[in-house]
Amino acid sequence: MPFINIKMTHEDGGATKEQKEKLAKGITELFSDIFGRGASSAVVLIEEVSTDNYAIGGKTITNIREEQNSN
């Protein structure tokens, strides 16, 4: 059974239910097409990470974006 974990930032209200369903379906189909298995048993976990909980170079994405928008 394939277990597919997708992590993305939670922005602008996050992904809608419909977007998540479309993403899960597309990823499942892609996996099945490439590996020839898993279409009926694939588990897709979508995690949305707050930009306050994701940092690059010691700065949160929230702060990086705020700095970019103020320039």
| pLDDT for the residue numbered 40 | 93
Q: What is the pLDDT of residue 38?
A: 87
β-strands 55-56, 59-60: how paired? antiparallel
Question: What does pTM read for this prediction?
Answer: 0.81
Residue 1 bears catalytic tag: no
Per-residue pLDDT of the chain (71 residues; tens, 9 = 90+): 899 999 999 988 999 999 999 999 999 999 999 999 989 999 999 999 999 999 999 999 999 999 999 98
3-state class (DSSP) for residue 59: strand
Residue 57 backbone dihedrals phi, psi, to 5 degrees: 60, 30
Domain residue limits at 27: 3-70
Structural domain tally of the chain? 1
Catalytically annotated residue among 1, 2, 11, 20: 2
**CATH code at 58?**
3.30.429.10
Distance, CA of 13 to CA of 56 (rounded, Å)? 22
Q: How far is CA 54 from CA 2, 14, 23, 27, 29, in A?
A: 26, 15, 22, 24, 29
